[in-house]
Amino acid sequence: MSFGMHRRWKRRTVRLAAERGGPPPRWLDLCCGTGDMAFLAEQIAGPAARVVGLDFTLPMLAVGRRRQIRDARKAAFVNGDALSLPFRDRTFDVITVGYGLRNIADAAAALREMRRVLVPGGRCVILDFGKPRNPIASALYRAFLRTMMPAVGWLFHRDPETYLYIPESLARYPGQVGVRDMMREAGFENARFEEKLLGTMGINIGEKAGLRKPGLPEDMA
């Protein structure tokens, strides 16, 4: 549906997260699905990074695990709910989310959970559908979604309703500007975004305040 552009956007998301620098990161890819971004994280952050993908849909994780074995990857896959993460506070240096936040029942609560499991100084990068701020681009985009989603659903699944959840979820989702504000409310610092394709895609970025003191265990930092 993105004519392959989603690959570039996912790579950009992972690169923005990896730019945080420092020692090899402990990396959570939330709503990992079949592992696209978890595998990219492993590739971009290097073999010493410890990457965990989490999702609550078992068949998606099963595909991820099969890909991991087939391609001899190290990323671990965990079954869990983004609204109640099975990790202790301050476990991860980096969190990425690709096309997941829009699908989580309570995005604000998920952002608070993400911040909880980030170390001070940790970074969160979220890729999702955006909302163009230009009214003409916005009208064209809505028309595209209304016509293309049923057509693509019919073409691939003989069911025009398959992808209708996308415009529906987007109607509820606040887009890049709203997510930036929600990140601020959840306590993230430097909440900001990048727009792609006239704002039809958004990459939100934020950090958890505080610096890790080199050489100190997390609990003492």
Ligand X SMILES: C[S@@+](CC[C@H](N)C(=O)[O-])C[C@H]1O[C@@H](n2cnc3c(N)ncnc32)[C@H](O)[C@@H]1O
Residues of the shown chain interacting with ligand X in the complex, contacts defined by CB under 6 A: 31-33, 36-37, 55-57, 60, 81-83, 98-100, 103-104
Q: Is the dihedral of CA 204, 11, 31, 88 positive or negative?
A: negative
Bridge-based pairing state of the strands 26-30 and 50-55 = parallel
Question: Taking the complex as a whole, how short is the minimal distance between the CB of residue 217 and ligand X, in angstroms?
Answer: 29
DSSP-assigned letter for residue 216: S
Residue placing its CB nearer to ligand X in the complex, 103 or 138: 103
The residue of the chain with the least Cβ separation from ligand X equals 33
Please say which residue, 104 or 183, places its beta carbon nearer to ligand X. 104
24 versus 86: smaller Cβ distance to ligand X: 86
Burial of 52 (C-beta count, 10 Å sphere; 0-12/13-18/19+): buried
Question: Are the beta carbons of 183 and 114 closer than 8 angstroms?
Answer: no
Which of residues 30 and 119 has its CB atom nearest to ligand X in the complex? Answer: 30
Minimal distance in Å, beta carbon 99 to ligand X? 4
Residues, the chain: 221
Beta carbon of residue 107, minimum distance to ligand X (angstroms, whole number): 10
Pairing of strands 118-129, 201-208: antiparallel
Q: Which is nearer to ligand X, 31 or 52 (CB)?
A: 31
Contact present, 204 and 192 (Cβ < 8 Å)? yes
User: Rounded to the nearest whole angstrom, what is the least distance from the CB of residue 61 to ligand X in the complex?
Assistant: 8
Closer of 36 and 93 to ligand X (Cβ): 36
What is the C-alpha separation between 218 and 221, in angstroms, rounded?
5
User: For residue 81, what is the DSSP state?
Assistant: B
Three-class SS state of 135: helix
Q: How far is the CB of 21 from ligand X (least distance, A)?
A: 24
Whole-number minimum distance, CB 219 to ligand X, in Å?
A: 27
